Structures are given as C-alpha cells and as structure tokens.
Amino acid sequence: MGLEQYQGDMAMCCRCSACKFIPMQRVNGYQYANVCPSIARYDYHSYSGGGRLNIGAAMLKSGFNYTDKLLDIVYNCQMCGACGVSCNYAMDMEVLEPINEFRIKCVEDGQTNPALDKVINLLRKQGSMVPTKGKRGDWASGLKLKDATKEKVDVFYHVGCLTSYDKDMQKLAKATAKILQKAGVNFGIAGDAETCCGGRAYQMGYKEDFLNQAKKNMAMIKKAGVKTVVTACADGYQAFKVLYDKYNLKGDLEVLHISEYIDKLIKDGKLKPRKKVDSSVTYHDPCRLGRLGEPWIHWKGKKVPGDRFVFNPPKVYRKGTHGVYEPPRDILKSIPGINLTEMIRIKEYSWCCGAGGGVNESNPGFAQWTAKERIEEAVSTGAEAIVTACPWCEKTFNEAIRDTGSGLRIFDIVELIEKAIQ
C-alpha cells in the first residue's frame, strides 16, 4: 500500500502551519516557539510537515518527479514527529507516517542519498550503523556479564551500535550494566552476536534493511527464550517496541527503556539512589523515547462515506500522548542533590537533538544547527547540565557544546544514577 494508504490524510492538510510550531497553548513567548527543525532551518513551506504532505498528495496524483530540490526536502528531515503532535492537537490525520512512506518510496525508486547508502552498506556488511573498530562486545570485557544467547536470563540488554562501538559512549553500556548488577537483575547481553536494531535504517527509508535486522533480532530473542528486552538507546527502544510491533514481529516481547526499568527498580526498592549528586540539570526528551515511543496501534478500517473524515472501526491516532515522559523525570527527582529545571519545549513537543532521520550522516551541518538551538535553550534555563536518555542525543549535543564553547555539561541518565548508587 505504501504512500497510497495515506492519500486521504494528506488531503486533509489545511495548510494551517500549526505543524511548524509547538502546540499553540504551549507557546510561551517569541523564543522557542518552533518545533520543526527542517522548516526552522530551510524556511520554505515545503520543508514543513504540511508542505511534505502537500507534495506527497500532488505526486500521488500527477506522478513522481525527483529533482535535487525534492531530495533535499526529503532527506533534510529528522523524522522526529513533532509536526504530527502539533497538527494532531486539532486534526485527526496521519502526518509522520506518510512522510515516512514518501522516504521509503524514494529509496525503493533508487532516489537515495549517497551518505546514507554508505551507512546502509556498512549495516549490510557488519550489522552496524557506525564504523566498527574491534568487536561489538569489547566494551564488556572483564565485566563478567552473562551471554543471553547461551545462558538463561530474565532480561536481555540490547546495547546498540553507537554505545557498543563508540569509545566515548561505551561508558553508558558500562554504567547500565553496573546499575542492573547493583539491582540484582538477572540480565545478559549478546556481546559480539548482537546486531543493529534496524531502527535508524528505517528512519532513513531503508525499510527492507530494517526488516532484515528486525527478523534477525527477533530470531535471536526467540531462541534465547527472553521475555524482556531493555535498551538504553531511544532508537533501539522505538525499533523493538514500536516498529517491530508495526510489522507484527514483536509478539508478546516486553520492551523497556532503561529509564522505565530503573524507575521501576527504584519504586520497587531494588535501587536506592542515596549518594548526593549536586547539580542543576534540565532534561531533553529523545524523540523516539518520548512522542515516538508510544505503542503502535494496530488498526484496519475503511473511511465512512460522508461528511467527516472518520472510519469504521474508529481510528485511534498516535498523537504522542503516551510516550515515556515521566520515568526519566521521576528518576532525576529521586537523586539527592539534583535540581531539575524544565526547558520550554519538553515532552511531546520537545525539540529534536538533530541526529535522527539520517540527518546526522547526510547533513551533519544541519544536525549541528539543530543541536545548537537545543543547547542554547538548555543554557537559558540556568542549568549546569543537560541530561538525556539516548546516546545519539548525547553525541550530537557533545559536538554542539564543543563547537559553541558552551560550558554546559551533558549526562545520560544512567551516568547520574550510577553516581547516585555508588
């Protein structure tokens, strides 16, 4: 079906421009009213969520005309889903799904971005979205962690490509392992046998590559008899929890982000953050943990003929309402000495870090432009540090902080909890 299934949704776009801004009630001033990095950076209406739908609808009608400008529009989007949240405050229609399908169609038609092709070639050869130096499981050497593919475990910790291979990010894997050990969780990793979740390939439009990865992962999980997967990467979380479910691959697997799991462990009294961590922080919601982390809703139906855009059976839209927003905040509040100050754009209308949708690879300048705006917003709160819950956010912010010379510090939530439980 692809893009065609969203013909009605695309036609519903009334070009109101709500998709460019945070939900109107939440606009608290002149600054930080934008929600879509793409239109904020490139200005033409075509780069907005609505503009993308208008183009999609027109091309379905009159044929696909791939020009350099069109591909520039298609690939300069983090697929962060903020446009959909703002639109869906008022409207009942899909926004991100058709945008996603448009990109998938571009890839299927061979209209790819060379930088993304390079990444996907790496994925096909080495099962990773980032360059591989050494083995995937090297970070765990000496930690004596269980091998979930060989030993019986309750929880499988899927580490993810960036955290596994990037020397600066391996600290997150180690912190996560330490936290789970401290809480007495019977968990394991797949070490060198782990492979990419496929989520970022999906964001880039490479659906088949995503499905290959999803099938590999689910085969391994089934074989290991694991019932619960924990990820500390928002991309991995969305892939396992939402995308695998969308394509009927997830089954009854329980998928938890590490922030949800730690929050549960604290509330169950299995983790006690007692040590004071003096810091004033602000929290950045990763898109794929927040608004795009809400469960997939399986639905099939037909439009009811008549005056309204309604369906039989009624369609329940994913509007970003049920993302993971409170667990990370509850964790931060549970750490003695942490003072949390919120930015203007938070939760379902959070500003993207810039790394999603392949933009990190295809247009690093745009990714950095986006990250710098977030760093500026974080600094405006007076916080000493920005906390996030995804290695991709941390990496992008780190580069922006380095570039701007900002004194802001950055932490993943697992780093703070690791300090608090020492």
Pick the closer one to another protein by CB: 102 or 156. 102
Should residue 37 be labelled a site residue for another protein when binding is judged by CB under 8 A?
A: no
- C-beta of 318: minimal distance to another protein in Å? 12
Compute how many residues bind another protein; rule: CB under 8 A.
61
Q: Using CB under 8 A, which of 3, 6, 21, 416 touches another protein?
A: 21
Should residue 3 be labelled a site residue for another protein when binding is judged by CB under 8 A?
A: no
Distance CA 331, CA 17 (A): 36
- C-beta of 75: minimal distance to another protein in Å? 14
Distance CA 151, CA 146 (A): 7
Contact 258, 324 (CB under 8 A): no
Pick the closer one to another protein by CB: 49 or 358. 49
Q: Using CB under 8 A, which of 2, 5, 8, 141 touches another protein?
A: 8
Should residue 348 be labelled a site residue for another protein when binding is judged by CB under 8 A?
A: yes
- The one segment of 64-72, 225-233, 253-261, 376-384 that binds another protein by CB under 8 A: 64-72
Should residue 307 be labelled a site residue for another protein when binding is judged by CB under 8 A?
A: yes
Pick the closer one to another protein by CB: 4 or 43. 43
Pick the closer one to another protein by CB: 166 or 348. 348
Q: Which of 292, 165, 158, 171 is nearest to 236 (CA)?
A: 158
Pick the closer one to another protein by CB: 15 or 152. 15
Q: Using CB under 8 A, which of 200, 207, 347, 374 touches another protein?
A: 347
Contact 147, 189 (CB under 8 A): yes
Site residues for another protein, 309-328, by CB under 8 A, read: 309-310, 314, 317, 319-323, 325
Q: Which of 209, 192, 29, 43 is nearest to 119 (CA)?
A: 209
- C-beta of 23: minimal distance to another protein in Å? 5
Cβ count near 308 (within 10 Å): 8
Q: Using CB under 8 A, which of 2, 4, 5, 43 touches another protein?
A: 43
- C-beta of 72: minimal distance to another protein in Å? 10
- Dihedral sign for Cα 117, 120, 122, 125, please: negative
Site residues for another protein, 225-284, by CB under 8 A, read: none
- C-beta of 185: minimal distance to another protein in Å? 30
Should residue 301 be labelled a site residue for another protein when binding is judged by CB under 8 A?
A: no
Site residues for another protein, 164-223, by CB under 8 A, read: none
- Residue 294's contacts (CB-CB under 8 Å, 6 or more residues apart) are 242, 318, 320, 321, 322, 323
Phi-psi region of 15 (alpha: psi -120 to 50; beta: other; left: phi over 0): left
Distance CA 338, CA 161 (A): 30
Site residues for another protein, 102-141, by CB under 8 A, read: none
Should residue 80 be labelled a site residue for another protein when binding is judged by CB under 8 A?
A: no
- C-beta of 343: minimal distance to another protein in Å? 15
- The one segment of 86-94, 150-158, 180-188, 402-410 that binds another protein by CB under 8 A: 86-94
- The one segment of 105-113, 115-123, 209-217, 300-308 that binds another protein by CB under 8 A: 300-308
Q: Which residues bind another protein (CB under 8 A)?
A: 8, 11-12, 14-18, 20-21, 23-30, 33, 43-46, 48, 50-52, 54-55, 57-59, 65, 67, 69-70, 73, 85-86, 88-92, 305-310, 314, 317, 319-323, 325, 347-349
